[in-house]
């Protein structure tokens, strides 16, 4: 690939013109400290990668209840808003476009994040996993508490408040994290949602929580500045339901009328596959959703180029390759080799620059 790559062509995303079709995928990097405050080194990290057409931040919690990962950032206090301005100001000065990803960990959390109170979920179903990293070390997963019907609406309001805070912090838009076994995904999937109220039962009812969040967020942002991420093929955090195809096509159908900017689909299988049938493809979503599609998870240069050239995807989000290749766009444009992937041990370490901002651009 070189300068004529389809990945390097501009993309109109709502009222934004993105300089290329390469996105930085949201990845949890755990550099915000115990107070969860975005900081200068995080601003440097995103600015290093601002040549991407779209930067999607690491998952950022909407409320204290949403916390469930050590030293991940939040967007629910004035100090957090001020901290994120370091990133948005720096990225914009470098010519970048950046969306904040809104997150609630749900049952993937632990009581030690919540002063001993259990994590919350649609239903009291424990995640079948080995352990969770907590402020008090590795701990076994616990059975979450099912949210009361009235409480669900309060969480929806938290998403709206977080979306407003993202605007105050200077972001260009927001992405609603509906993937990977966190709270929204567990509402969507029959495996984890056994509710009998209006948020459970049919595929449409299980989408109600997400739809209400979209409605709350789009009161703060134009719909064309809002994206949604889903993982129809994913097994991460003990997910995967027999009716996954019906469920996620229903998601696409119900989101279509809102005119959101994009649907970010983790269609690749590099993050685990539940194996409950044939993997869902972007083309299936294309039939139900007329706005932009972002493909993600396990793409290399050849598969990404093909997906965009064939029209299956409008954009491809790269995660792991962007960790060790801050200048990934330049490497694609110039046919330069990609650096070796960063070791997993460095991904989540709260040790500052090492494994985070210390990867050089190739010209250096």
Average pLDDT over all residues of the chain: 96
Asked if residues 164 and 224 have their Cβ atoms less than 8 Å apart, the reply is: no
Span 183-207, pLDDT tens digits: 999 999 999 999 999 999 999 999 9
4 or 120, greater pLDDT: 120
Closest CA relative to residue 294, chosen from 303, 307, 284 = 307
Span 311-352, pLDDT tens digits: 999 999 999 999 999 999 999 999 999 998 877 777 776 667
Asked if residues 262 and 291 have their Cβ atoms less than 8 Å apart, the reply is: yes
Q: Residue 363 pLDDT more than 90? A: no
Task: Give the mean pLDDT of 255-274.
Answer: 96
Q: Residue 45 pLDDT more than 90? A: yes
**Which pLDDT belongs to residue 364?**
54
Per DSSP, the three-state class of 91 is: helix
262 is catalytic: no
Asked if residues 325 and 359 have their Cβ atoms less than 8 Å apart, the reply is: yes
Asked if residues 5 and 332 have their Cβ atoms less than 8 Å apart, the reply is: yes
Which residue in 45, 76, 141, 182 is the catalytic one? 182
Q: Which residues of 335-363 are buried (b: 16+ CB within 10 A; e: fewer)?
A: eeeebeebeeebbbbeeeeebbbebeeee
Domains, the chain, ordered by start = 6-347 (3.20.20.70)
């Amino acid at each position: 690939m070189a300068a004529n790559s389809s990945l390097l062509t501009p993309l109109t995303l709502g009222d934004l013109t993105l300089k290329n079709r390469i996105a930085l995928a949201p990845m949890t990097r755990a550099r915000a400290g115990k107070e969860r405050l975005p900081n200068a080194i995080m601003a440097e990290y995103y600015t290093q990668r601002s040549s991407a057409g779209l930067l999607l931040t690491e998952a950022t919690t909407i409320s204290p209840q949403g916390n469930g990962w050590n030293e991940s950032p939040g967007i629910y206090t004035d100090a957090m808003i001020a901290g994120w301005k370091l990133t948005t100001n720096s990225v914009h000065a470098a010519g970048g476009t950046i969306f904040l990803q809104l997150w609630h960990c749900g049952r993937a959390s632990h009581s030690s994040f919540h002063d001993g109170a259990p994590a919350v979920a649609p239903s009291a179903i424990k995640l079948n996993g080995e352990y969770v990293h907590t402020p008090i070390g590795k701990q076994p997963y616990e059975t979450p508490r099912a949210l009361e019907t009235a409480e669900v609406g309060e969480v929806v309001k938290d998403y709206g408040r977080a979306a407003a805070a993202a605007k105050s912090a200077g972001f260009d838009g927001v992405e609603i994290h509906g993937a990977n076994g966190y709270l929204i995904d567990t509402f969507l999937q029959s495996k984890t949602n056994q509710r009998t109220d209006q948020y459970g039962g049919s595929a449409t009812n299980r989408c109600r929580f997400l739809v209400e969040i979209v409605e709350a967020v789009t009161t703060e942002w134009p719909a064309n500045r809002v994206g949604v991420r889903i993982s129809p093929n994913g097994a991460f955090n003990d997910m995967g339901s027999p009716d996954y195809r019906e469920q996620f096509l229903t998601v696409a159908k119900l989101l279509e009328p809102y005119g959101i900017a994009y649907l970010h689909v983790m269609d690749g299988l590099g993050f685990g596959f539940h194996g409950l049938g044939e993997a869902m493809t972007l083309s299936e979503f294309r039939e139900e959703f007329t706005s932009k599609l972002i493909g993600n998870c396990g793409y290399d240069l050849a598969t990404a180029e093909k997906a965009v050239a064939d029209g299956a995807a409008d954009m491809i989000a790269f995660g792991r390759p962007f960790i060790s290749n801050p200048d990934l766009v330049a490497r694609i444009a110039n046919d330069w080799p990609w650096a070796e992937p960063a070791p997993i041990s460095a991904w989540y370490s709260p040790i500052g620059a090492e494994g985070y901002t210390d990867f050089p651009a190739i010209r250096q």
